[in-house]
Amino acid sequence: MKLAATILVFCVAALLALGMVMLYSSSSVMPLKGDNNAQAGAMYLIKQLIWCALGLMAGAVVACMDYRVLKKITWPLLAFAVVLLMLVLVPHIGLRIHGARRWFSYGGVSFQPSEFAKLALIIALAWYGERFQRHMPLFKRGILIPGLFIGLVVGLIFIEMDVGNALLLATVSGILLLIAGIRLKYFLPPVLILAVAVSIFIYNNPTRNERIYSWLHVEETRHDKGMQAYQSMLALGSGGLTGRGLGEGRQKLGFVTFSSTDFIFSVIGEELGLVATLLVVLAFVALVICGIYISWNSRDLFGLLLGSGITFLIGLQAFINIGVVTSVLPNKGLLLPFISYGGSNLLIMLTCVGLLISIARKGYPARRVMREAMEPVGSPVLNHS
């Protein structure tokens, strides 16, 4: 358990360090009024460093506490998240950017409530899965009731036009319900209905429809809707094995938009090469493996579900972002965890890592878990505190 937590912390620290370096490199080409490019890069870096410091403090606090304390505040956290998601939709309260209303902004500082809502929903599902463990195979307790608050949170995020985060959270929620023990015969029909509904939405939404078309026809749309994906692949290809050199990337000079956020992985590939991109992928793979190991050796079902939800949230978001940049997946607008510019995402992700460390601190070694599983009911070994 200690080794898994150590590897987890090392991977996150390495990704954070790389993210700060690449953020300065990618944002130093974005001009500000009255400032030069270097000053623009420094400004974005300073903002990210401040959010990183806040995230590290939050992560340290939750890592030192007993994660089971969250059981007592599960529903206040979820209720607060729902209130924030509703408020962000109110005109003159939520900030509208590119047709989406996803942020609160005050004094130049923006916060995206959907990031907090993702963690709050995972905590609520972990509590519910433990509380009603014996009833999870039933339709009412296993799919209907949890489906209501999953639908509420995911629906509000969807209404914000944050389709990527909504689909990500719906997927993670479905995985948690499966781990908690729901039956496939109750799980598959809602999934199929949701898939059909999303397909209809994409078909009737011009923006999403064009994204899918440009993804399927990158060469044809490389001067229009597919330019971002096409240029990101050029960036990855031109980097070769070891890259052009730090700060020497060309595609970030207006060719690849959102080079500091959604497509920062392409800047890594162009400037540091295939070796660096593979190391990033390996870091996320190691992070997921450590998270799964910690979760499955947790002290209780709540820790298992909470750790699994956090691990899949981080892992799937990284997989989707890298898949978009490499044109394996259509554009979803998701950030690369720990690397992309985005304060609220970084704050929540570091808090999630702190919770994983807390689960590891309170967990059992794998041998003890196996031994207890083999003990008969009523054995003194099971009567732990």
Asked whether 121 and 149 are in contact (CB, 8 A), the reply is yes
Burial group, residue 90, by CB count within 10 angstroms (0-12, 13-18, 19+): exposed
Residue 268: give the domain boundaries.
Answer: 2-367
Query: In this predicted structure, what is the pLDDT of residue 370?
Result: 41
Q: In one letter, which amino acid is 370?
A: M
DSSP state at residue 141 = I
Give me the mean pLDDT over the 116-128 stretch: 96
371 versus 325: the higher-pLDDT residue is 325
Distance CA 363, CA 368 (A): 10
Which token pair is 56?
């590290």
Query: In this predicted structure, what is the pLDDT of residue 98?
Result: 66
Q: In one letter, which amino acid is 47?
A: K
Residue 374 lies in a domain: no
Residue 372 lies in a domain: no
Query: In this predicted structure, what is the pLDDT of residue 29?
Result: 60
Residue 339 lies in a domain: yes
Distance CA 263, CA 326 (A): 10
Residue 383 lies in a domain: no
Phi/psi at 102 (5° precision): -125, -10
Give me the mean pLDDT over the 99-109 stretch: 76
Contacts 24+ apart (CB under 8 A), 149-158: 149/78, 149/121, 149/124, 150/121, 150/125, 152/82, 153/78, 153/81, 153/82, 153/85, 153/117, 153/120, 153/121, 156/82, 156/85, 156/86, 156/89, 156/117, 157/85, 157/114, 157/117
Residue 88's Cβ-side half-sphere holds a number of Cα atoms within 13 Å equal to 32
Residue 75's Cβ-side half-sphere holds a number of Cα atoms within 13 Å equal to 2
Residue 373 lies in a domain: no
Q: State the chain's mean pLDDT as an integer.
A: 86
Q: Please check the confidence at residue 189 and state whether its pLDDT lies above 70.
A: yes
pLDDT digit string, tens, across residues 338-349: 999 988 999 999
Phi/psi at 181 (5° precision): 115, 20
Residue 380 lies in a domain: no
Instruction: Locate all alpha helices (DSSP H) within the chain, ordered by sequence.
Output: 2-27, 37-64, 74-87, 113-131, 139, 145-159, 163-180, 184-204, 206-216, 227-239, 264-296, 301-325, 343-362, 366-374
Which token pair is 115?
């990031």
CB burial string 182-212: b at 16+ within 10 A, e below = beeebbeebeeeeeeebeeeeeeeeebeebb
Q: In one letter, which amino acid is 171?
A: T
Q: In what order do the strands lie in the sheet with 109-111?
A: 95-97, 100-106, 109-111
Residue 375 lies in a domain: no
Under the banding of pLDDT at 50, 70 and 90, the label for residue 367 is very low
96: which strand partners? 101
Q: How many domains does the chain have?
A: 1
Query: In this predicted structure, what is the pLDDT of residue 171?
Result: 95
Asked whether 343 and 111 are in contact (CB, 8 A), the reply is yes
Under the banding of pLDDT at 50, 70 and 90, the label for residue 364 is low
pLDDT digit string, tens, across residues 271-313: 999 999 999 999 999 999 999 999 999 989 999 999 999 999 9
Query: In this predicted structure, what is the pLDDT of residue 205?
Result: 80
- Candidate from 15-29, 93-107, 147-161, 276-290 with smallest mean pLDDT: 93-107
Residue 382 lies in a domain: no
Q: Please check the confidence at residue 168 and state whether its pLDDT lies above 50.
A: yes
Under the banding of pLDDT at 50, 70 and 90, the label for residue 5 is very high
Residue that has been written with the tokens 């954070």 in this structure: 16
Query: In this predicted structure, what is the pLDDT of residue 287?
Result: 97
CA dihedral 367, 373, 376, 380 (to 10 degrees): 50
